[in-house]
A and B are shown apart, each in its own frame.
Chain A
Amino acid sequence: MLKCSIDALNGVFAKIAADATLYLPTDKDGSTVYAEWSEGVELSNALNTAKSPKDFFFPQVEDLMKFKVEGKSISVDDIRSESEDFVVFGVRACDVRSFDILDRVFLVEPYDSYYASRREHGVIISMACSKPAETCFCRTFGIDCTNPGGDIAVWKTEDSVYWNANTEKGEKLLSKLGLEECSDDAVNAQKEKTEKIMSKLPLAGLTTDGFGGGKTLDLFNRPEWKSLSESCLGCGTCTFVCPTCQCYDVKDFNTGNAIIRYRCWDSCMYSDFTKMAHGNNRNSQVERFRQRFMHKLVYYPENNEGIFGCVGCGRCLAKCPISMNIVKVMKTIGGNAE
C-alpha cells in the first residue's frame, strides 16, 4: 500500500497527466461529471457521477467508417486510429464491474476493435466508497464497494489518499508517482466503518433470488409486467445513465461529400428499436420494458456464468422521470416479493 496526503493529490494528478490524459469526477453546475484534469479542476466529493463512465470505452456517438460514393462505385475508408493513453480516476466499484460486463459483450469473438483499443489504452483508478447513498445496492450483486477493482484502487480518508495496484498496468503507473509506502491500517478502519453503513442501507436486504439464467419463461410470463410498465414513458433515461446498457444503433450520415457510418447508443425502451419493414416484434411498451429488465436479470446471466447485467449503482433510481426502476421490478417479481 502506498500513500500521499490530500494536499499532495493535485501534484500526483499532475504527474499522471504528464503522460496521459487524466479524467476525474468534478462538480459542474450542480451535478457531478467526468472532466479532463488540468490545474484547478477539483476532485468532486460526491458519491458518483450523474452519467456512467462507460463513455470512455463506448462513447455515445462514434464514427465507424467513411464511404465515398461516385456514380455506381463505392469506396470504404477505415477511419479508425489507435486510441491515445488515458487514465480515469475515481471510478466506483460498481462502475468497475460494469466494465467487466461490457467486456463480455465487446471482447468476445468477433472483437469490437473500437472498444478494444480504448480498453487497452485506458487505465482505471478506482476509488472505494465511504459514504454510500440510499439508492446503492451493489452488494446485491456481490460487489464490495470498499474494495474496488480496476488497475489501481484508491481509498480516500480525511487527510490521506491510499493507493494499491491491482494489475501490471496499474503497477507501472503507480511506480512512476513516487508515493510513500505505508501500512493498511487506515484503509482497514475505513472499510470496517463503511461495511457497517452498508448493512444499514435501505436496500441492503435486496437479493437476486428468483432471477438468473434458466428462468426465462417463468419470469417472462408474469402478469406483473403490465402494472410495472403502466406509466413507463418509453424514454431512454435509464438506458443512457446505465453503466451496463450497451445496445447501439448504426446509422449513416450524409455530409454532402462523403457518408459517415457511425454508431450511437440506443435503447430497447424506444418504440423503433426492433421496428423493421414488415413489422415490430415488440409492439407495446410492456414488451419493451420487460426486455430491458429480463436482459439484465435473466438473459445476461444465462449467457455469462450467472453474472447479472446490473451493478446496483442506483443511477436509474435517481434519474427515472417516473421513478420506476430495477429495484421495484426485482421486489415485485423476484424472490423478494413481499
Chain B
Amino acid sequence: MQVKEYKPLIVAFCCNWCSYAGADLAGNNRLNYPADVKIIRVPCSCRVNPMFVLRAFQRGADGVILCGCHPGDCHYTSGNYYTRRRMALLFSMLDYLGIERERTRVEWVSAAEGAKFAATMNDFAEKVAALGENKRLEDLRCKK
C-alpha cells in the first residue's frame, strides 16, 4: 500500500476587498502556494464569526487563517479592528483550552500583496503540517 503524504487542509477566510484580490494577484503572478488552502470569500474579515472558525475545524480543517485589509484600510472603515479584537481573544481562548496555537492565524494582506499572500500561505501550511492532523478540535463523525 502506498502511504499518502500528509497534506494539511487549510481554510482561509479572505476579505473581498483586499485579501481575496491579493490571492487573485498571487494566482495571476503564478506564485506557488499549497493547493490544500481552501479560500472562503467574506465581505469583510469582520464577517467571520468565531463559530466559523470552530466549524471549519469540525469539518476537517487542520488550520484556519483569516486574511483582511491592513488596519486602517478596511473598506467598511473599522471592520478589521473588530476582527483584531475578536480573534485575539478567540485564539487566546483556544490556546487556553490546549489547542495548538499554530493552527490559527490572522494576517493582513492588501490587494497589492500577492507575494505576501503566497508567502503567508506557504509558511502557515508548513507550520500546520509540522503539527500534523487536527486531533483536538475534530469531530469524528465528519472523518468517516
Instruction: List chain A positions with a Cβ less than 8 A from chain B.
Output: 253, 255-258, 260
**Size band of the interface chain B makes with A:** under 10
Are B141 and A257 interface neighbours, CB within 8 A?
no
> With a CB–CB cut-off of 8 A, which chain B residues contact A258?
144
What is the bound-complex CA distance between A200 and B10, given in angstroms? Answer: 65
Most buried by B among A253, A256, A257, A258: A256
CA A156 to CA B127, docked complex, whole Å: 57
- B59 in the interface, Cβ–Cβ < 8 Å? yes
Please give, as numbers and ranges, the residues of chain B lying within 8 Å of A253 by CB-CB distance.
141
Specify the chain A residue showing the minimal Cβ separation from B141: A255
A260 to B60, CA, bound (A): 17
> Nearest-CB distance from B132 to chain A (Å)?
21
Count of chain A to chain B residue pairs whose CB atoms are closer than 8 Å in the complex: 10
Best-buried of B59, B60, B144 by chain A (most CB within 10 Å):
B144
Interface of B with A (CB < 8 Å)? 59-60, 141-142, 144
Give the residue name and chain of the B residue nearest to A262 (CB). Answer: B141
Alpha-carbon separation in the docked complex, A105 to B24 (Å): 60
- The closest CB in chain A to the CB of B60 belongs to A256
Contacting residues, chain A, for B60 (C-beta < 8 A) = 256
Closest to A66 in B: B144
> A166 vs B142: C-alpha distance in the bound complex, in angstroms?
45
List 10 interface pairs A-B (beta carbons < 8 Å), by A numbering.
A253-B141, A255-B141, A255-B142, A255-B144, A256-B59, A256-B60, A256-B142, A257-B144, A258-B144, A260-B141
Residue of B with least CB distance to A63: B141
Residues of B within 8 A of A256 (CB): 59-60, 142
Closest residue of chain A to B143, judged by CB? Answer: A255
7 further interface pairs, Cβ-Cβ under 8 Å (given A255-B141, A255-B142, A258-B144): A253-B141, A255-B144, A256-B59, A256-B60, A256-B142, A257-B144, A260-B141
Q: For the complex, give the distance between the alpha carbons of A255 and B59 in Å.
A: 8
Min CB–CB distance A43 → chain B (angstroms):
32
Q: Which residue of A lies closest to B59 (CB)?
A: A256
By Cβ-Cβ distance, the 10 closest A-B pairs, closest first, are A255-B141, A255-B142, A256-B142, A260-B141, A253-B141, A256-B59, A255-B144, A258-B144, A257-B144, A256-B60
Alpha-carbon separation in the docked complex, A257 to B143 (Å)? 9
Instruction: Please give, as numbers and ranges, the residues of chain B lying within 8 Å of A257 by CB-CB distance.
Output: 144
Q: Please, how many angstroms separate the alpha-carbon atoms of A258 and B60 in the complex?
A: 15
Residue of B59, B60, B142 most packed against chain A (CB within 10 A): B142
CB distance from B142 to the nearest CB of A (A): 5
**Complex CA distance for A255 and B60, rounded to whole angstroms:** 10
